[in-house]
Amino acid sequence: MARVLVTRAAEDAPVLAHALAVAGYEPVVVPVLERRWLPFAVADLAAERPEADWVVVTSAVAAEIVAVGAPGAWRSARWAAVGPSTADRLGALGYTPERVPDKATARDLVAAMGDLTGQVVVYPRADLAPPATAEGLREAGAEVLDVVAYENVAPAGYEERLRRMLPVAATTLLSGSAAERVAEALPAAERPGLGLVVVIGPSTARAAERAGLTVHAEAQPHSVAGVVATLQRRVRR
């Protein structure tokens, strides 16, 4: 049975691990991220700037932190989600996303929102989020209220655990920060042990390549289901 590395944070890993097991793979779970929520940062922003035209959400985690940190805030704003899984989480939390791009990228998300001249956009994000979303919103004319809603830190001892689990047939990377952590843990000579590297989308691919990793495949569609489907096309079980 082919072994597939799952690098997601511990609270997110079970969904992908279960999907891989159902598809006939052996999931190898080594979280390379540990998430620290910062709901008080969101609450402070909501108190300071209670009115906004848009709230842009680029992960289900960001949606959850907004719901915890400022559950009554920005209810009159329009909400935009980067992809269907984030939109589903927003819906489950009681928010209605009005914009969900066909492709889950920052460029497509901003394009779906149209002309933002003079509009106030709340953007709760991870500390390691790439700048493309905020930059795109500003280029579209928005005033961006950029708030770090959570931090992705390195779990203690993850490097040793990762190296001990290699080699694997394939490695899944679902964020740029995960790609960077994997690259930090492994010298170039050990990276072939990652097997076929599958990323969830183009922004993760760019981050992985900048970190020195070889990307072999990009999920189609850009979702957990797309990651598994891509593996099924490329990796024998």
3-state secondary structure of 122: strand
Cα distance between residue 132 and residue 147, in whole Å? 15
Q: What is the pLDDT of residue 48?
A: 97
Report yes or no: 137 and 55 within 8 Å, Cβ to Cβ.
Answer: no
Q: What is the pLDDT of residue 236?
A: 87
pLDDT in tens, 183-206: 999 999 999 999 999 999 888 999
pLDDT in tens, 123-140: 999 998 889 999 999 999
The model's pTM is: 0.83
Helical (H) or strand (E) element with 136: helix 132-139
| Helix pair angle (13-22, 224-234), 10° resolution | 40
Q: What is the dihedral of CA 180, 145, 120, 138, to 10 degrees?
A: -50
Q: What is the pLDDT of residue 138?
A: 97
